[in-house]
Amino acid sequence: MNVVVCVKQIPDPAAPQSLEPGTNTLDRSGKLILDDSDAYGVEMALQLAEQAGGGEVTLVSMAPNGETSGLRTALAMGAASAILVSDPALKGADALTTAKVLAAAIKRSNADLIIAATESSDGYTGTTPVQVAEILGLPSITFAKSVSVDGSSVKVERQTEAGYDDVTSPLPAVVTVTAGVVEPRYPSFKGIMAAKSKPVETLTAGELGVDASQTGQEITSVVEAEARAAGEIVVDEGDGAQRIVTFLEGLKLV
């Protein structure tokens, strides 16, 4: 079974972040790492391919400056190859443009299943994977907390507020996984060494036939979030419960 995993490479969240002057977009010029959210998708894909007894895991990523550091981490976990789309024309790309690019790259592979994270750690619109599914004309199942493949269908336990739904879909399909769907493995030393020579095909938007002349958005300004106001301390003098109800009524929450 061939599984494609969408992996986003992001600036290290542990490092100081800055905005590019003029564009108000996140400075992505430094080293990019594998988004933690996508490590779960990579692990899920590896386990499904292993269980199927054959097939490969291919990574697809769109990132600036030909960046492959995050891809190499996922290759070290065990993915076989990667397609990277990197193009200055994609600067400032919104989620829909990203979805068009990823869908065009996915079309180049013979995917039975496409896995992405429910949302990324930095942009987190949580819309890219379902847009990819729509563009490819495939069913999509979101918020998977468990994934299994049975012949030509995929079975998913889809996380809900109350518990989970059992969802079955024919393959190929797009599935987004939550953190906790599986525990990602740490790349072994052997895996890290092997990843250095695994194939990464780098393409531009034009080579994929995607028009990047309109990337979809302009960030006109960025303002700091308001500091939180100090809370109000209520001393319970026997009327605590009523005062909480009155407070919540004031906020129209009850």
Least Å distance, CB 238 to ligand FAD, is 48
Q: Closer to ligand FAD at the Cβ: 25 or 148?
A: 25
Return the SS3 of 78. coil
Q: Closer to ligand FAD at the Cβ: 123 or 237?
A: 123
Structure tokens at 243: 């005062």
The answer to whether the beta carbons of residues 47 and 3 sit under 8 Å apart is: no
**Interface pick for ligand FAD out of 124, 202, 247, 254 (rule CB under 6 A):** 124
Q: What angle do CA 24, 205, 143 make, to 5 degrees?
A: 70
**Interface pick for ligand FAD out of 56, 94, 134, 201 (rule CB under 6 A):** 94
Return the SS3 of 184. coil
Does 178 engage in binding with ligand FAD (CB under 6 A)? no
Which of the 8 DSSP states describes residue 83? E
Does 120 engage in binding with ligand FAD (CB under 6 A)? yes
Does 79 engage in binding with ligand FAD (CB under 6 A)? no
Angstrom distance (rounded) from CA 217 to CA 207? 23
What are the start-end ranges of the H helices in the chain? 36-52, 69-77, 95-107, 128-136, 189-195, 240-250
Q: Closer to ligand FAD at the Cβ: 56 or 94?
A: 94
**Interface pick for ligand FAD out of 193, 219, 244, 248 (rule CB under 6 A):** 219
* Per-residue CA distances from 79 to 3, 20, 41, 99, 170 (Å): 10, 33, 11, 21, 24
Site string for ligand FAD, 5-24 (x = CB under 6 A): -xxx----------------
Name the residue with the smallest CB distance to ligand FAD: 123
Looking at 69-77, 86-94, 135-143, 224-232, which segment touches ligand FAD (CB under 6 A)? 86-94
Does 111 engage in binding with ligand FAD (CB under 6 A)? no
Least Å distance, CB 13 to ligand FAD, is 13
* Per-residue CA distances from 224 to 92, 143, 221, 227 (Å): 21, 31, 10, 9
Binding site for ligand FAD (CB under 6 A): 6-8, 25, 28, 35, 37-38, 61-64, 90-95, 98, 102, 116-117, 119-120, 122-129, 219
